[in-house]
Amino acid sequence: MKKTLLSLCIMLAAVAGQAFAQNNDVAGNKRFTVSVSTGEGGQIEIEGTGAVSKNSVASATINTGEDVVLVITPDEGYELKTLYVDGADVLADVDEDGNYTISAISKNMSVSATFEEKSEPFVKGDVTGEGDVNSADVVAVYAYIIEGDASGYTKERADVDGNGDVNSADVVAIYNIIILGA
Reported as a single tens digit per residue, the pLDDT across 22-71 is 565 555 679 999 999 998 999 999 999 999 999 899 999 999 999 999 99
Residue 126 has pLDDT above 70, yes or no: yes
Q: What is the pLDDT of residue 104?
A: 95
pTM: 0.57
Q: In the chain, what are the domain boundaries?
A: 28-117, 135-180
According to DSSP, residue 30 is labeled: B
Contact present, 8 and 31 (Cβ < 8 Å): no
Q: What is the pLDDT of residues 148-175, one digit of tens each?
A: 999 999 999 999 999 999 999 999 999 9
Q: 28-117 — its CATH code? A: 2.60.40
Percent of the chain clearing pLDDT 70 (strictly above): 84
Q: What is the pLDDT of residue 75?
A: 94
Residue 124, number of CB atoms within 10 A of its CB: 14
pLDDT band at 80 (very low <50, low <70, confident <90, very high): very high
Contact present, 115 and 79 (Cβ < 8 Å): yes
